[in-house]
Structures are given as structure tokens and as C-alpha cells.
Amino acid sequence: MSRQSRKLDHLKYTLLLEDGPNEPGFDDLNLVHNCLPNVDLDSIDLTTSVAGLRLKHPIIVNAMTGGALDVLDIHSLLAEFAKKTNSAMAVGSQFAAIENPELIPTYSIVRKIYPDGIIFANIGAYATPDQAARAVEMIEANAIQIHFNAAQEIMMTEGDRNFKGYLENLQRIVDKVNVPVIAKEVGFGIAREQVAQLINAGVAAIDIGGSGGTNFLAIEAARINKNLSQDELRWGIPTVVSAIETKSVLAPGVSMIVSGGVRRPLDIIKSLVLGGSAVGIAGMFLKMLQRNGLNNAILEFNQMLDTIKKYMLILGINTIDKSSSVPLVIGGQTRQWMQIRNCDITKYAVKKQDLV
Ligand SMILES: Cc1cc2nc3c(=O)[nH]c(=O)nc-3n(C[C@H](O)[C@H](O)[C@H](O)COP(=O)(O)O)c2cc1C
């Protein structure tokens, strides 16, 4: 199966399949209401920083497509959506265009539509440093996502089987490219042991890509008409668990992007309180655009931003930076996981308040 038709299949099955079956874990998180918010709704500032880049708000349109001539329209629509919502945006894996330059316009269209946007390049961790540099150049990217997707690859009949040397390769990519590097999972989460290794390799941000949203095992299985067991479909670290694991070892100056099943404004505010500087959303935006059209998707997006501001108000904060001062009580399976992993979650619940 060619890389181009695989890209089309990914879009097709994302639209056909639901999230999960894992839950991302946001229901295990309880934000503590503030009855005395010293905040004016109109003064709430949604700007944030990721990997040293300033974003107008904390929602990133995450990596999805490019790489087939037939996806030009949908990639243009995603770029239009990102532009009209002032969102940062990532393109999908650019390896297809590295192999076949005829496909370059299916990625560079994003920069053409959104000339002043914050745009992330994207390539797999197997790419050579030169190929990563070409991916950056291809779209004049502001940063590059290096994706890790071993669970997805081993499910694909035509996928990679040898994952040796990725960390050392990542380090070489960091040394070569002239933009910040974001290490990214695609929906199976990152544990703290690997976060520490990725940080040592010099990444500027970690996009945790946890389990509970778009499920690439389900998508790959649907492509080859294969039935997977619930055990297989539930592989991966739920998003909230991965975010807490990541935060527990995050170095100063390295940003966390929370993604994987982030859907509601409440998920977004909880992700920020967990220590995320931003969230990434992929599958849901594709579905919103496909089902409701560009204008309605923009309206829905703006409603999400308004709702986030309202949550910030009743939590007593007026900037994204202050999210870390909001107390959060963690229960359910997330709490059990963290206790067994000897990860202190009381620090989320008991905080020195830093009210405005
Ligand atoms: C159709 C589709 C294609 C994707 N292609 C890529 C890709 O090329 N590179 C990548 O890093 N992630 C890719 N992803 C993964 C997303 O960027 C994201 O990590 C994942 O879908 C989890 O987020 P979600 O639950 O909000 O969809 C893709 C996702 C979708 C839905």
C-alpha cells in the first residue's frame, strides 16, 4: 500500500471511528472552585508560550495530513481554520514529500494560506538530521515535531519493525535543525522514564499524545479489516496519567503540550492546571470541519475559547501562567496509578494560592 493511500485511509477512518475505548482520564480531575475570584472577565489573557514561541491561545491544531495529492483540499481547510482561529498548527508527517518532491505543495500550502502562523513541521524519529532540516525548510516552520509511533508501526503490515537508535538520532536532529524540537507521541502516551531521556536529548517541548482520543491501533486495524481485542485496543498510557508523569520530571524551560482525547473546554483548563502550556487537538477538528463546515467550526472554536475564559474566572486566574496555582484533586484510576508509581499528587491539591 502506498504512503499516499495510507494518508487517505487515516483521514477516512478517523471520520468513521469514535475516540477510545480508553478514557483520557479528565473525569478523574476535580478543579477547586473559587467563590472569590478577583478577576474581570474582559481582562483574561489567553496567550501562552510553547518551546519559546508565543501563541495567541493554548489550542494547537495538531499534526494530521499532507502527503497525498488528494488531501490538498482538506489540508487547505485545516490551514484556513487555524488561521481564522489564530491557532498554531502542525502539518502531518512530511516524509512522503522528502521521498517524492511532487508532494511538497500538499504541505507548503499551509504556509501559503497562513503566512504569519506558528507552524510546526513533522517527521518520524527515523528521519536523518538532513531530512528533518528539509522538512523545516519546506514550510518555513517555527518548530519541528519529531513523532514516536512504535505501537502504530508494528500494527501496520507495511510498518517499521526496527526502532533502534531513535534517541541518538533525535539528539542529532536537535543539533542540526535551527528551530525548537518537540518530541511527540501519536496517542499512546509518554512515561516519565522516556520523558527524562527526551529532555536529555535536548527537546524544547514534549507533546504527550496520550491514549483516550484518536486510536491509531483501531485505525490501522480497520484499514486491514482486522478485529482487535479490547486488550489490544486499550494499549497506551491515558492522557492525564501521561501528563502527570511528564510534569513530574519536566525540566525548567521545557514545555508540555497535553494531547490525546482533549475535547471539551474543561479538558483544556484541566490540562493547563496539570502543567501544560498548551493542548493539541487533531481528530475532533477534522470531524468538526467535515461535519459542520468551516464557519460553524470557527464559531464552535470561539465558543470554546469563551468557555475557557469563564472557567479561568471561576478559578480566580487571569493568565494561563497562573493555571499552576489552581488546586486540583485527583481521584479514580489516575490516583491509583500515581500512588503505585510513587508520584506525589498532593502537590496538585495543596497549593500556595497566587491570586491576582
Ligand atoms: C488523520 C490523522 C493523521 C495523523 N497523522 C499524524 C502524523 O502524520 N504525524 C503525527 O505526529 N501525528 C499524526 N496524527 C496524530 C495526531 O497529531 C494526535 O497526536 C493524535 O490524533 C491524538 O490527538 P487527538 O485525540 O486529538 O486526535 C494524526 C492524527 C489523525 C487523526
Domains of the chain: 3-349 (3.20.20.70)
Per-residue cell: 199: 529532555
Q: What is the pLDDT of residues 256-296, one digit of tens each?
A: 999 999 999 999 999 999 999 999 999 999 999 999 999 99
| pLDDT of 355 over the 70 cut | no
**Spatial separation of the C-alpha atoms in residues 133 and 173, rounded to whole Å:** 8
Q: Which atom of ligand 1 is nearest to the CA of 62?
A: 17
**Confidence category of residue 353, pLDDT binned at 50, 70, 90:** low
Q: What is the pLDDT of residues 207-263, one digit of tens each?
A: 999 999 999 999 999 999 999 999 999 999 999 999 999 999 999 999 999 999 999
Q: Which atom of ligand 1 is nearest to the CA of 63?
A: 17
Distance of CA 120 from the midpoint of ligand 1 (Å): 13
**Confidence category of residue 3, pLDDT binned at 50, 70, 90:** confident
Please choose from 7, 59, 64 the residue to mutate so as to test ligand 1's pocket, defined by most ligand atoms within 8 A of CB.
Answer: 64
Residue 282 Cβ < 6 Å to ligand 1: yes
203 burial (CB, 10 Å; 0-12 / 13-18 / 19+) is buried
The pLDDT score that the predictor gives to residue 4 is 85
Distance of CA 186 from the midpoint of ligand 1 (Å): 6
| CA distance to 27, 167, 279, per residue, from 31 (Å) | 10, 36, 17
Residue 14 Cβ < 6 Å to ligand 1: yes
Residue 93 Cβ < 6 Å to ligand 1: yes
> What is the rounded end-to-end Cα distance, in angstroms, of the chain?
56
Distance of CA 92 from the midpoint of ligand 1 (Å): 8
| pLDDT of 332 over the 70 cut | yes
- The β-bridge partners of 59 are 279
Residue 75 Cβ < 6 Å to ligand 1: no
Residue nearest to atom 3 of ligand 1 (CA): 64
Please choose from 62, 153, 208, 290 the residue to mutate so as to test ligand 1's pocket, defined by most ligand atoms within 8 A of CB.
Answer: 62
Q: Is the pTM of this model over 0.95?
A: yes
Long-range Cβ pairs for the range 343-352 (8 Å, 24+): 343/192, 343/244, 343/245, 343/248, 344/248, 345/244, 348/244, 348/273, 348/274, 349/32, 351/324, 351/325, 351/326, 351/327, 352/325
Residue nearest to atom 19 of ligand 1 (CA): 186
Residue 214 Cβ < 6 Å to ligand 1: yes
Q: What is the pLDDT of residues 52-97, one digit of tens each?
A: 999 999 999 999 999 999 999 999 999 999 999 999 999 999 999 9
**Spatial separation of the C-alpha atoms in residues 176 and 158, rounded to whole Å:** 29
Residue with cell 494560506: 113
Whether the Cβ atoms of residue 65 and residue 7 lie closer than 8 Å to each other: yes
Of the candidates 324, 316, 186, 343, the one whose C-alpha atom is nearest the C-alpha of residue 252 is 324
Give the residue, 136 or 158, on which the prediction is more confident: 136
**Confidence category of residue 320, pLDDT binned at 50, 70, 90:** very high
Distance of CA 236 from the midpoint of ligand 1 (Å): 15
| CA distance to 42, 300, 308, 311, per residue, from 314 (Å) | 13, 21, 10, 5
Distance of CA 327 from the midpoint of ligand 1 (Å): 31
